[in-house]
Structure 1
Amino acid sequence: MSTTPIKLLTPGRHRLTLDVDDRERELWVFVPTHTAEPSEGWPIVLTFHGGLSNAPTMMRFCELNELGDTAGFVTVFPNGTGRLPSMKTWNAGMCCGYAQREDVNDVHFIEELLADLPQRVHVDPSRVYATGMSNGGMMAYLLADKLSDCFAAVAPVGGTMGNDTCHPKRPVPVMHMHGTDDQFVRWEGGVGSRSKSKLDFNSVDHAISNWVAANRASPQPLIEKLTPEVNDGTSIEKFTYAATDADSAEVILWKIFGGGHTWPGKESRLELLGPTTQNLDANSVIWEFFQRHRLPL
Structure 2
Amino acid sequence: MHHLSLLSLAVLAGVSTASPSGCGKDIPSKFPSPGESKTLKLPGSDREYQLFIPANYDQTKPTALYFSFHGASRDMHEEESLSQFSNPLFNPNGIAIYPNSKNGYWLSNPSANTSRPNDLDFTNDLLIHMEEKLCIDTSRVYAAGKSNGGGFTGVIACNATVGSRFAAFAAVSGAWYNTDDIPGVGPCAPAKREEGYPFLEFHGTIDTTAPIDGNTKEHPKLPVIDILEGWAERNGCGAGAKWAKNETVFQQPLVKHATWNCAGKTDIVQHYREGENGHCWPSTVGNDDYERLASQCPLGKYVFNATEYIFDFFGQYQLNK
Which TM bucket (shorter chain)?
Answer: 0.7 to 0.9
- Which residue is 1:195 aligned to? none
Q: Distance in 1 between matches of 2:26 and 2:61?
A: 20
What secondary structure sits across from 2:64 in the alignment?
strand
User: What's 1:66 paired with?
Assistant: 87
Bigger drift between 153-162 and 110-119 goes to 153-162
Q: Alpha carbons of 1:175 and 1:18: their partners in 2 closer, same or farther (altered >3 Å)?
A: same
Name the residue aligned to 2:123: 110
**In structure 2, distance between residues paired with 1:237 and 1:38:** 41
Which of residues 93, 103, 111 in structure 2 aligns to 1:97? 111
Partner of 1:85: none
1:151-190 maps to which residues of 2 (within 5 A)? Answer: 151-162=166-177, 163=179, 165-169=187-191, 170=193, 171-190=196-215
4+ residue segments displaced more than 4 Å: none
CA shift, 1:224, in A, is 1.0
Distance 2:242 2:90 in 1: 37
More strand by share: 1
C-alpha distance in 2, partners of 1:199/1:31?
Answer: 38
Within a 5 Å distance, the mapping from 1:49-60 to structure 2 comes to 49-60=70-81
- The TM-score, its normalising length taken from structure 2, stands at 0.77
Cα distance in 2 between the residues matched to 1:70 and 1:216: 31
How do 1:119-198 and structure 2 match up within 5 A?
A: 119-146=132-159, 147-162=162-177, 163=179, 165-169=187-191, 170=193, 171-190=196-215
- The SS at the match of 1:242 is strand
Q: Which runs of 5+ in 2 are unaligned?
A: 1-24, 181-186
Q: 1:212 aligns with which of 223, 232, 235?
A: 232
Count of residues in Structure 1 that have an aligned counterpart in Structure 2: 272
Q: Secondary structure at the match of 2:113?
A: helix
Shift of 1:112: 0.3
How many percent of aligned residue pairs carry the same amino acid? 23
The CA RMSD measured in Å over matched residues stands at: 2.5
State the SS of the aligned residue for 1:58. helix
Shift of 1:120: 2.5
CA displacement 1:198-226 (0-9 Å, x = unmatched): 63111101111111101114833211101
Show structure 1 runs of 5+ residues with no match: 83-87, 193-197
Deviates more, 1:234-243 or 1:48-57: 234-243
**Aligned equivalents of 2:78 and 2:312: distance in 1?**
24
Equivalent position SS for 1:24: coil
Shift of 1:89: 1.1
Check whether the contact 1:161–1:206 (CA below 8 A) recurs between aligned residues: no
1:30 alignment partner in structure 2: 52
Q: Write the distance in 2 (CA, Å) between the matches of 1:69 and 1:212.
A: 27
| CA-CA distance at 1:275 after TM superposition | 3.8
Q: 2:271 aligns with which of 253, 256, 268?
A: 253
Q: TM-score, normalised by structure 1?
A: 0.83
| Change beyond 3 A, Cα 1:19–1:238 | same
Q: State the secondary structure of the residue aligned to 1:215.
A: helix
> Do 1:142 and 1:161's aligned partners in 2 also have CA atoms closer than 8 Å?
no
Q: Which deviates more from structure 2 when the two are superposed, residues 129-138 or residues 54-63?
A: 54-63
How far is 1:280 from its partner?
2.0
8 Å contact 1:32–1:68 — kept in the other structure?
no
